[in-house]
Protein backbone atom coordinates (compact mmCIF):
# COMPACT_ATOMS: atom_id res chain seq x y z
CA UNK A 1 0.00 0.00 0.00
CA UNK A 2 1.40 3.46 -0.85
CA UNK A 3 1.47 5.84 2.16
CA UNK A 4 1.81 9.59 1.36
CA UNK A 5 4.89 11.23 2.91
CA UNK A 6 3.01 13.56 5.26
CA UNK A 7 1.14 10.63 6.79
CA UNK A 8 4.29 8.50 6.83
CA UNK A 9 6.21 11.16 8.78
CA UNK A 10 3.43 11.46 11.32
CA UNK A 11 3.15 7.70 11.60
CA UNK A 12 6.93 7.28 12.03
CA UNK A 13 7.02 9.82 14.85
CA UNK A 14 4.16 8.03 16.55
CA UNK A 15 6.00 4.74 16.20
CA UNK A 16 9.18 6.26 17.70
CA UNK A 17 7.22 7.76 20.59
CA UNK A 18 5.59 4.42 21.22
CA UNK A 19 8.99 2.74 21.08
CA UNK A 20 10.40 5.05 23.77
CA UNK A 21 7.43 4.36 26.03
CA UNK A 22 7.82 0.70 25.33
CA UNK A 23 11.52 0.76 26.34
CA UNK A 24 10.63 2.40 29.66
CA UNK A 25 8.01 -0.23 30.23
CA UNK A 26 10.58 -2.95 29.56
CA UNK A 27 13.00 -1.51 32.09
CA UNK A 28 10.31 -1.16 34.74
CA UNK A 29 8.85 -4.57 34.09
CA UNK A 30 11.84 -6.71 33.28
CA UNK A 31 10.50 -9.68 35.16
CA UNK A 32 7.19 -9.59 33.35
CA UNK A 33 9.04 -9.17 30.08
CA UNK A 34 11.01 -12.36 30.67
CA UNK A 35 7.82 -14.26 31.37
CA UNK A 36 6.20 -12.97 28.22
CA UNK A 37 9.24 -12.93 25.96
CA UNK A 38 7.44 -14.34 22.92
CA UNK A 39 4.71 -11.72 23.13
CA UNK A 40 7.13 -8.80 23.21
CA UNK A 41 9.30 -10.18 20.45
CA UNK A 42 6.17 -10.37 18.33
CA UNK A 43 5.32 -6.71 19.12
CA UNK A 44 8.85 -5.56 18.23
CA UNK A 45 8.77 -7.43 14.93
CA UNK A 46 5.34 -6.04 14.14
CA UNK A 47 6.43 -2.45 14.82
CA UNK A 48 9.55 -2.81 12.72
CA UNK A 49 7.66 -4.39 9.84
CA UNK A 50 5.05 -1.61 9.84
CA UNK A 51 7.75 1.04 9.96
CA UNK A 52 9.68 -0.51 7.10
CA UNK A 53 6.54 -0.95 5.05
CA UNK A 54 5.81 2.75 5.44
CA UNK A 55 9.17 3.66 3.96
CA UNK A 56 9.06 1.24 1.05
CA UNK A 57 6.52 1.27 -1.75
CA UNK A 58 5.26 -2.22 -2.62
CA UNK A 59 6.74 -2.44 -6.12
CA UNK A 60 4.93 -5.65 -6.94
CA UNK A 61 1.55 -3.92 -6.68
CA UNK A 62 2.32 -0.40 -7.88
CA UNK A 63 4.07 1.44 -10.69
CA UNK A 64 5.61 4.89 -10.29
CA UNK A 65 4.86 7.09 -13.33
CA UNK A 66 6.99 10.23 -13.76
CA UNK A 67 6.11 12.76 -16.48
CA UNK A 68 8.04 15.94 -17.21
CA UNK A 69 5.39 18.55 -17.95
CA UNK A 70 5.75 22.15 -19.18
CA UNK A 71 4.20 24.92 -17.12
CA UNK A 72 0.40 25.03 -16.88
CA UNK A 73 0.01 21.69 -18.69
CA UNK A 74 -2.10 18.67 -17.90
CA UNK A 75 -3.82 15.63 -19.34
CA UNK A 76 -5.33 12.27 -18.47
CA UNK A 77 -3.88 8.78 -18.80
CA UNK A 78 -6.33 5.90 -19.12
CA UNK A 79 -5.75 2.75 -17.09
CA UNK A 80 -7.73 -0.40 -16.38
CA UNK A 81 -8.86 -1.61 -12.99
CA UNK A 82 -9.06 -5.26 -11.91
CA UNK A 83 -12.26 -5.72 -13.91
CA UNK A 84 -10.74 -4.12 -17.03
CA UNK A 85 -12.95 -1.05 -16.71
CA UNK A 86 -11.15 2.07 -17.90
CA UNK A 87 -10.55 4.92 -15.47
CA UNK A 88 -8.58 8.18 -15.82
CA UNK A 89 -5.51 9.32 -13.89
CA UNK A 90 -4.96 13.08 -13.93
CA UNK A 91 -1.47 14.58 -14.36
CA UNK A 92 -1.37 18.36 -13.86
CA UNK A 93 1.44 20.89 -13.60
CA UNK A 94 -0.17 24.04 -12.20
CA UNK A 95 3.15 25.84 -11.64
CA UNK A 96 4.83 28.43 -13.85
CA UNK A 97 7.86 26.20 -14.50
CA UNK A 98 8.54 22.81 -16.06
CA UNK A 99 8.00 20.18 -13.41
CA UNK A 100 8.16 16.39 -13.10
CA UNK A 101 4.81 15.08 -11.90
CA UNK A 102 4.91 11.70 -10.16
CA UNK A 103 2.08 9.37 -9.27
CA UNK A 104 1.81 5.77 -8.12
CA UNK A 105 -0.73 3.66 -9.95
CA UNK A 106 -1.89 0.19 -8.93
CA UNK A 107 -0.55 -2.65 -11.05
CA UNK A 108 -3.67 -4.49 -12.19
CA UNK A 109 -2.07 -6.38 -15.09
CA UNK A 110 1.15 -8.39 -15.35
CA UNK A 111 2.02 -6.31 -18.41
CA UNK A 112 0.39 -3.02 -17.41
CA UNK A 113 -1.24 -1.23 -20.32
CA UNK A 114 -1.44 2.57 -20.38
CA UNK A 115 -3.47 4.50 -22.94
CA UNK A 116 -3.19 8.17 -23.81
CA UNK A 117 -5.79 9.85 -26.00
CA UNK A 118 -6.07 13.48 -27.07
CA UNK A 119 -9.35 13.80 -28.93
CA UNK A 120 -8.77 17.31 -30.21
CA UNK A 121 -5.21 16.55 -31.36
CA UNK A 122 -6.31 13.13 -32.71
CA UNK A 123 -3.50 11.40 -30.81
CA UNK A 124 -3.87 7.77 -29.72
CA UNK A 125 -0.89 6.22 -27.95
CA UNK A 126 -0.58 2.79 -26.34
CA UNK A 127 2.12 1.84 -23.87
CA UNK A 128 2.92 -1.35 -21.97
CA UNK A 129 5.05 -1.71 -18.84
CA UNK A 130 6.63 -5.15 -18.57
CA UNK A 131 6.27 -7.06 -15.30
CA UNK A 132 9.96 -6.62 -14.40
CA UNK A 133 9.64 -2.83 -14.09
CA UNK A 134 8.00 -0.74 -11.38
CA UNK A 135 9.04 2.75 -12.56
CA UNK A 136 8.42 4.49 -15.89
CA UNK A 137 9.36 7.94 -17.18
CA UNK A 138 7.77 10.08 -19.89
CA UNK A 139 8.43 13.44 -21.47
CA UNK A 140 5.58 15.49 -22.91
CA UNK A 141 5.80 17.08 -26.34
CA UNK A 142 3.39 20.06 -26.18
CA UNK A 143 3.54 20.89 -29.89
CA UNK A 144 2.26 17.47 -30.99
CA UNK A 145 0.54 16.71 -27.67
CA UNK A 146 2.27 13.34 -27.48
CA UNK A 147 4.08 11.38 -24.80
CA UNK A 148 7.69 10.32 -25.37
CA UNK A 149 8.99 7.31 -23.39
CA UNK A 150 12.12 8.38 -21.49
CA UNK A 151 13.00 4.98 -20.10
CA UNK A 152 13.44 1.49 -21.50
CA UNK A 153 10.81 0.16 -19.12
CA UNK A 154 8.07 1.35 -21.50
CA UNK A 155 7.13 -0.48 -24.70
CA UNK A 156 5.41 1.88 -27.12
CA UNK A 157 3.19 -0.28 -29.29
CA UNK A 158 1.40 2.60 -31.03
CA UNK A 159 3.20 1.65 -34.26
CA UNK A 160 1.73 -1.85 -34.08
CA UNK A 161 -1.78 -0.47 -33.83
CA UNK A 162 -1.32 2.12 -36.56
CA UNK A 163 0.20 -0.28 -39.08
CA UNK A 164 -2.25 -3.10 -38.45
CA UNK A 165 -5.14 -0.63 -38.53
CA UNK A 166 -3.82 0.82 -41.78
CA UNK A 167 -3.67 -2.69 -43.19
CA UNK A 168 -7.33 -3.28 -42.33
CA UNK A 169 -8.51 0.04 -43.74
CA UNK A 170 -6.55 -0.54 -46.94
CA UNK A 171 -7.39 -4.16 -47.64
CA UNK A 172 -10.65 -4.91 -45.86
CA UNK A 173 -13.14 -2.34 -47.09
CA UNK A 174 -16.72 -3.38 -47.75
CA UNK A 175 -16.59 -2.26 -51.35
CA UNK A 176 -13.59 -4.54 -51.94
CA UNK A 177 -15.31 -7.50 -50.35
CA UNK A 178 -18.09 -7.13 -52.92
CA UNK A 179 -15.56 -6.90 -55.73
CA UNK A 180 -15.21 -10.13 -57.71
CA UNK A 181 -11.45 -9.63 -57.89
CA UNK A 182 -11.14 -9.57 -54.12
CA UNK A 183 -8.69 -12.32 -53.18
CA UNK A 184 -8.79 -13.17 -49.49
CA UNK A 185 -5.75 -15.44 -49.72
CA UNK A 186 -3.69 -12.63 -51.20
CA UNK A 187 -4.71 -10.34 -48.35
CA UNK A 188 -3.72 -13.01 -45.83
CA UNK A 189 -0.31 -13.24 -47.48
CA UNK A 190 0.13 -9.46 -47.20
CA UNK A 191 -0.83 -9.62 -43.54
CA UNK A 192 1.65 -12.42 -42.96
CA UNK A 193 4.41 -10.29 -44.52
CA UNK A 194 3.62 -7.47 -42.12
CA UNK A 195 3.72 -9.90 -39.20
CA UNK A 196 7.06 -11.44 -40.28
CA UNK A 197 8.64 -8.03 -40.85
CA UNK A 198 7.86 -7.01 -37.25
CA UNK A 199 9.14 -10.35 -35.98
CA UNK A 200 12.40 -9.69 -37.79
CA UNK A 201 12.64 -6.14 -36.46
CA UNK A 202 12.04 -7.25 -32.87
CA UNK A 203 13.68 -10.69 -32.98
CA UNK A 204 15.85 -9.81 -29.97
CA UNK A 205 12.86 -8.59 -27.95
CA UNK A 206 10.53 -11.47 -26.95
CA UNK A 207 8.22 -8.95 -25.28
CA UNK A 208 7.36 -7.12 -28.51
CA UNK A 209 7.50 -10.30 -30.57
CA UNK A 210 4.79 -11.79 -28.40
CA UNK A 211 2.70 -8.64 -28.76
CA UNK A 212 3.19 -8.72 -32.53
CA UNK A 213 1.77 -12.25 -32.61
CA UNK A 214 -1.40 -11.14 -30.82
CA UNK A 215 -1.79 -8.14 -33.13
CA UNK A 216 -1.43 -10.45 -36.10
CA UNK A 217 -4.16 -12.82 -34.94
CA UNK A 218 -6.40 -9.91 -33.99
CA UNK A 219 -6.19 -8.63 -37.55
CA UNK A 220 -6.42 -12.09 -39.09
CA UNK A 221 -9.65 -12.72 -37.20
CA UNK A 222 -11.21 -9.61 -38.75
CA UNK A 223 -9.95 -10.63 -42.16
CA UNK A 224 -10.65 -14.38 -42.06
CA UNK A 225 -12.59 -15.45 -38.93
CA UNK A 226 -12.67 -19.10 -40.02
CA UNK A 227 -8.93 -19.43 -40.50
CA UNK A 228 -7.72 -22.70 -38.94
CA UNK A 229 -4.46 -21.16 -37.70
CA UNK A 230 -6.43 -18.60 -35.75
CA UNK A 231 -8.55 -21.24 -33.99
CA UNK A 232 -5.46 -23.31 -33.24
CA UNK A 233 -3.75 -20.28 -31.66
CA UNK A 234 -6.79 -19.45 -29.50
CA UNK A 235 -7.46 -23.01 -28.33
CA UNK A 236 -3.82 -23.58 -27.41
CA UNK A 237 -3.24 -20.36 -25.47
CA UNK A 238 -1.21 -21.29 -22.41
CA UNK A 239 0.31 -18.03 -21.20
CA UNK A 240 -2.00 -16.31 -18.71
CA UNK A 241 0.25 -13.23 -18.48
CA UNK A 242 -0.22 -12.07 -22.07
CA UNK A 243 -1.35 -8.55 -22.86
CA UNK A 244 -4.82 -8.62 -21.35
CA UNK A 245 -6.38 -5.69 -23.21
CA UNK A 246 -5.30 -7.07 -26.58
CA UNK A 247 -6.38 -10.59 -25.69
CA UNK A 248 -9.73 -9.24 -24.56
CA UNK A 249 -10.30 -7.80 -28.04
CA UNK A 250 -9.23 -11.07 -29.64
CA UNK A 251 -11.69 -13.15 -27.61
CA UNK A 252 -14.45 -10.52 -27.91
CA UNK A 253 -14.51 -10.96 -31.69
CA UNK A 254 -14.13 -14.73 -31.32
CA UNK A 255 -17.27 -14.90 -29.15
CA UNK A 256 -19.17 -12.61 -31.52
CA UNK A 257 -18.28 -14.73 -34.55
CA UNK A 258 -18.73 -18.16 -32.95
CA UNK A 259 -21.52 -17.72 -30.40
CA UNK A 260 -24.01 -20.01 -32.18
CA UNK A 261 -21.55 -22.90 -32.25
CA UNK A 262 -20.24 -22.60 -28.67
CA UNK A 263 -20.86 -25.54 -26.33
CA UNK A 264 -21.06 -23.99 -22.87
CA UNK A 265 -21.29 -27.33 -21.06
CA UNK A 266 -17.98 -28.27 -22.65
CA UNK A 267 -16.39 -24.91 -21.79
CA UNK A 268 -14.34 -25.67 -18.67
CA UNK A 269 -10.77 -26.24 -17.56
CA UNK A 270 -11.09 -29.98 -18.13
CA UNK A 271 -11.35 -29.37 -21.86
CA UNK A 272 -9.44 -26.08 -22.19
CA UNK A 273 -6.39 -24.53 -20.60
CA UNK A 274 -6.68 -22.20 -17.64
CA UNK A 275 -5.38 -19.38 -19.84
CA UNK A 276 -8.06 -19.99 -22.47
CA UNK A 277 -10.83 -19.90 -19.84
CA UNK A 278 -9.32 -16.75 -18.32
CA UNK A 279 -9.27 -14.87 -21.62
CA UNK A 280 -12.62 -16.26 -22.69
CA UNK A 281 -14.08 -14.93 -19.41
CA UNK A 282 -12.51 -11.51 -19.96
CA UNK A 283 -13.77 -11.46 -23.56
CA UNK A 284 -17.23 -12.47 -22.33
CA UNK A 285 -17.28 -9.61 -19.84
CA UNK A 286 -16.36 -7.17 -22.59
CA UNK A 287 -18.96 -8.68 -24.91
CA UNK A 288 -21.83 -8.63 -22.39
CA UNK A 289 -20.95 -5.06 -21.34
CA UNK A 290 -21.14 -3.83 -24.93
CA UNK A 291 -24.22 -1.81 -25.83
CA UNK A 292 -24.75 -3.78 -29.02
CA UNK A 293 -25.22 -7.08 -27.11
CA UNK A 294 -26.29 -6.02 -23.63
CA UNK A 295 -29.89 -6.79 -22.61
CA UNK A 296 -30.36 -9.27 -25.49
CA UNK A 297 -32.08 -12.52 -24.39
CA UNK A 298 -30.19 -14.41 -27.09
CA UNK A 299 -27.06 -14.27 -24.96
CA UNK A 300 -28.59 -15.65 -21.76
CA UNK A 301 -26.65 -18.95 -22.13
CA UNK A 302 -23.44 -16.92 -22.18
CA UNK A 303 -24.51 -15.06 -19.01
CA UNK A 304 -25.38 -18.35 -17.30
CA UNK A 305 -21.92 -19.70 -18.07
CA UNK A 306 -20.16 -16.45 -17.16
CA UNK A 307 -21.55 -16.24 -13.62
CA UNK A 308 -19.90 -19.61 -12.88
CA UNK A 309 -16.46 -18.34 -13.93
CA UNK A 310 -13.72 -17.39 -11.49
CA UNK A 311 -13.42 -13.98 -13.15
CA UNK A 312 -17.07 -13.18 -12.35
CA UNK A 313 -16.75 -14.51 -8.80
CA UNK A 314 -13.78 -12.20 -8.16
CA UNK A 315 -16.11 -9.17 -8.01
CA UNK A 316 -19.72 -10.19 -8.68
CA UNK A 317 -21.40 -6.99 -7.49
CA UNK A 318 -19.41 -4.71 -9.77
CA UNK A 319 -19.51 -7.03 -12.77
CA UNK A 320 -23.23 -7.77 -12.46
CA UNK A 321 -24.08 -4.07 -12.72
CA UNK A 322 -21.97 -3.73 -15.86
CA UNK A 323 -23.48 -6.65 -17.75
CA UNK A 324 -27.10 -6.43 -16.61
CA UNK A 325 -29.39 -3.47 -17.31
CA UNK A 326 -30.29 -0.93 -14.65
CA UNK A 327 -33.74 -1.36 -13.10
CA UNK A 328 -35.71 1.20 -15.12
CA UNK A 329 -38.45 1.53 -12.52
CA UNK A 330 -35.90 2.26 -9.81
CA UNK A 331 -34.08 4.68 -12.13
CA UNK A 332 -37.20 6.76 -12.79
CA UNK A 333 -38.05 6.83 -9.09
CA UNK A 334 -34.56 8.03 -8.14
CA UNK A 335 -34.43 10.55 -11.00
CA UNK A 336 -37.71 12.11 -9.87
CA UNK A 337 -36.30 12.55 -6.35
CA UNK A 338 -33.31 14.63 -7.49
CA UNK A 339 -33.08 18.32 -6.63
CA UNK A 340 -30.86 20.48 -8.82
CA UNK A 341 -29.80 24.14 -8.57
CA UNK A 342 -29.56 26.57 -11.44
CA UNK A 343 -26.96 29.34 -11.66
CA UNK A 344 -29.21 31.60 -9.55
CA UNK A 345 -29.28 28.92 -6.79
CA UNK A 346 -32.96 28.16 -7.33
CA UNK A 347 -34.04 24.54 -6.78
CA UNK A 348 -35.64 22.46 -9.53
CA UNK A 349 -36.67 18.86 -10.04
CA UNK A 350 -35.96 17.10 -13.33
CA UNK A 351 -39.67 17.19 -14.08
CA UNK A 352 -39.76 20.98 -13.67
CA UNK A 353 -36.71 21.37 -15.89
CA UNK A 354 -38.16 19.25 -18.69
CA UNK A 355 -41.37 21.31 -18.63
CA UNK A 356 -39.31 24.45 -19.18
CA UNK A 357 -37.59 22.94 -22.24
CA UNK A 358 -40.12 20.49 -23.77
CA UNK A 359 -38.72 17.76 -26.03
CA UNK A 360 -39.22 14.09 -26.83
CA UNK A 361 -35.75 13.12 -25.63
CA UNK A 362 -33.24 14.45 -23.09
CA UNK A 363 -29.51 13.81 -22.85
CA UNK A 364 -28.32 14.23 -19.27
CA UNK A 365 -24.68 15.32 -19.40
CA UNK A 366 -22.94 14.79 -16.03
CA UNK A 367 -19.69 16.74 -15.82
CA UNK A 368 -17.30 18.67 -13.56
CA UNK A 369 -15.28 21.85 -14.04
CA UNK A 370 -11.96 20.01 -13.59
CA UNK A 371 -12.80 17.36 -16.23
CA UNK A 372 -11.06 18.07 -19.56
CA UNK A 373 -12.91 15.34 -21.52
CA UNK A 374 -16.16 16.93 -20.31
CA UNK A 375 -15.12 20.30 -21.72
CA UNK A 376 -14.05 18.67 -24.98
CA UNK A 377 -17.47 17.03 -25.10
CA UNK A 378 -19.20 20.42 -24.92
CA UNK A 379 -17.19 21.69 -27.87
CA UNK A 380 -17.91 18.61 -29.96
CA UNK A 381 -21.65 18.68 -29.21
CA UNK A 382 -21.78 22.38 -30.09
CA UNK A 383 -20.56 21.57 -33.62
CA UNK A 384 -22.95 18.62 -34.11
CA UNK A 385 -26.30 18.81 -35.85
CA UNK A 386 -28.40 17.43 -33.00
CA UNK A 387 -31.97 16.19 -33.56
CA UNK A 388 -34.59 18.91 -33.12
CA UNK A 389 -36.62 16.84 -30.65
CA UNK A 390 -33.64 16.47 -28.26
CA UNK A 391 -32.57 18.74 -25.40
CA UNK A 392 -29.26 18.53 -23.51
CA UNK A 393 -29.27 19.11 -19.74
CA UNK A 394 -25.81 19.74 -18.27
CA UNK A 395 -25.51 18.60 -14.66
CA UNK A 396 -22.38 19.53 -12.69
CA UNK A 397 -21.19 17.20 -9.94
CA UNK A 398 -18.70 19.70 -8.52
CA UNK A 399 -18.29 20.03 -4.78
CA UNK A 400 -20.03 23.02 -3.19
CA UNK A 401 -16.77 24.98 -2.84
CA UNK A 402 -16.47 25.05 -6.65
CA UNK A 403 -19.97 26.38 -7.18
CA UNK A 404 -18.77 29.82 -8.30
CA UNK A 405 -16.34 28.26 -10.77
CA UNK A 406 -19.21 26.15 -12.15
CA UNK A 407 -21.37 29.25 -12.60
CA UNK A 408 -18.59 31.13 -14.39
CA UNK A 409 -17.74 28.19 -16.63
CA UNK A 410 -21.42 27.62 -17.50
CA UNK A 411 -21.58 31.19 -18.79
CA UNK A 412 -18.24 31.11 -20.62
CA UNK A 413 -19.18 27.83 -22.34
CA UNK A 414 -22.67 29.12 -23.14
CA UNK A 415 -24.41 26.16 -21.51
CA UNK A 416 -28.12 26.88 -21.90
CA UNK A 417 -29.44 24.28 -19.46
CA UNK A 418 -26.79 24.14 -16.76
CA UNK A 419 -27.56 22.82 -13.27
CA UNK A 420 -25.63 21.78 -10.20
CA UNK A 421 -26.21 18.52 -8.31
CA UNK A 422 -24.26 18.54 -5.04
CA UNK A 423 -23.45 15.04 -3.81
CA UNK A 424 -25.07 15.74 -0.44
CA UNK A 425 -28.35 16.94 -1.93
CA UNK A 426 -31.55 15.01 -1.30
CA UNK A 427 -31.70 11.82 -3.37
CA UNK A 428 -28.19 12.22 -4.82
CA UNK A 429 -26.49 9.31 -3.05
CA UNK A 430 -29.19 6.77 -3.97
CA UNK A 431 -29.03 7.94 -7.59
CA UNK A 432 -25.22 7.68 -7.70
CA UNK A 433 -25.27 4.21 -6.16
CA UNK A 434 -27.93 2.91 -8.54
CA UNK A 435 -25.96 4.00 -11.60
CA UNK A 436 -22.48 3.43 -10.18
CA UNK A 437 -21.91 7.07 -11.12
CA UNK A 438 -18.32 7.55 -9.94
CA UNK A 439 -16.68 9.24 -12.91
CA UNK A 440 -17.38 11.89 -15.52
CA UNK A 441 -18.22 12.54 -18.26
CA UNK A 442 -21.32 10.38 -18.14
CA UNK A 443 -24.21 10.68 -20.58
CA UNK A 444 -27.69 9.30 -19.87
CA UNK A 445 -30.45 9.29 -22.49
CA UNK A 446 -34.09 9.41 -21.35
CA UNK A 447 -37.55 9.86 -22.82
CA UNK A 448 -39.68 12.91 -22.02
CA UNK A 449 -41.60 10.87 -19.42
CA UNK A 450 -38.24 10.26 -17.65
CA UNK A 451 -38.11 6.61 -18.63
CA UNK A 452 -34.59 5.35 -19.20
CA UNK A 453 -33.21 4.60 -22.66
CA UNK A 454 -29.47 4.26 -21.97
CA UNK A 455 -27.77 4.76 -18.59
CA UNK A 456 -24.27 5.03 -20.13
CA UNK A 457 -24.66 6.56 -23.57
CA UNK A 458 -21.82 6.96 -26.06
CA UNK A 459 -19.44 9.90 -25.65
CA UNK A 460 -19.45 12.77 -28.20
CA UNK A 461 -16.11 11.85 -29.75
CA UNK A 462 -17.39 8.37 -30.65
CA UNK A 463 -18.96 7.98 -34.12
CA UNK A 464 -21.89 6.08 -32.57
CA UNK A 465 -22.86 9.15 -30.51
CA UNK A 466 -24.61 11.19 -33.17
CA UNK A 467 -25.59 8.10 -35.16
CA UNK A 468 -27.46 6.54 -32.23
CA UNK A 469 -29.00 9.86 -31.16
CA UNK A 470 -30.49 10.38 -34.61
CA UNK A 471 -31.70 6.77 -34.75
CA UNK A 472 -33.53 7.10 -31.41
CA UNK A 473 -35.00 10.50 -32.25
CA UNK A 474 -36.22 9.41 -35.69
CA UNK A 475 -38.07 6.48 -34.16
CA UNK A 476 -40.37 8.82 -32.25
Whether the predicted pLDDT of 8 surpasses 80: no
Q: Residue 82 has what pLDDT?
A: 66
CATH number of 62-156: 2.60.40
Q: What is the distance in angstroms between the CA of the first residue and the CA of the last residue of the chain?
A: 52
Whether the predicted pLDDT of 403 surpasses 50: yes
> How far is 219 from 191, CA to CA, in rounded Å?
8
Q: Residue 50 has what pLDDT?
A: 34
Residue ranges covered by each domain of the chain: 5-55, 62-156, 170-323, 328-474
> Which has the minimum average pLDDT: 83-87, 104-108, 155-159, 257-261?
83-87
Matching CATH topology for 62-156 and 328-474?
no
Give residue 25's pLDDT band: very low, low, confident or very high (50, 70, 90): very low
Q: Residue 401 has what pLDDT?
A: 83
Q: Average pLDDT, stretch 300-315? A: 92
Q: Average pLDDT, stretch 137-144? A: 89
pLDDT per position as a tens digit, 88-131: 888 999 999 999 999 998 888 888 889 887 766 678 888 888 88
Mean pLDDT of the residues in the chain:
82
Neighbours of 60 (CB within 10 A): 8
Q: Which fold would CATH assign to domain 328-474?
A: Glutaredoxin (3.40.30)
Q: Residue 425 has what pLDDT?
A: 64
Give residue 83's pLDDT band: very low, low, confident or very high (50, 70, 90): low
Whether the predicted pLDDT of 473 surpasses 60: yes
> How far is 270 from 256, CA to CA, in rounded Å?
23
pLDDT per position as a tens digit, 355-395: 999 999 999 999 999 998 899 999 999 999 999 999 999 99
Q: Residue 32 has what pLDDT?
A: 40
Amino acid sequence: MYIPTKYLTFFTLKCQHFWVLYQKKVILSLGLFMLNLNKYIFVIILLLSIKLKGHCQDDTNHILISIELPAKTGFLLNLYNDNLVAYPVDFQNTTADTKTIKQYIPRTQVHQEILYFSTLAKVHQYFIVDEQYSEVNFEYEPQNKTLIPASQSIADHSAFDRNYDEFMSRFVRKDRVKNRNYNIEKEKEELKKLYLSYNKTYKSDPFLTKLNTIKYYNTLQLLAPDDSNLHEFLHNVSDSTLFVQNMRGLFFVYIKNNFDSLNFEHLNTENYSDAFIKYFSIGTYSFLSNKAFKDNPKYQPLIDWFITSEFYKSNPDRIRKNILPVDKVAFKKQLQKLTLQDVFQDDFSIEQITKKIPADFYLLDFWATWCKPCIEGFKIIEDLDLPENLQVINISLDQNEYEQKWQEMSQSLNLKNSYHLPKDYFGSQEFFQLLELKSVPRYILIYKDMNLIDEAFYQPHQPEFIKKLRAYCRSK
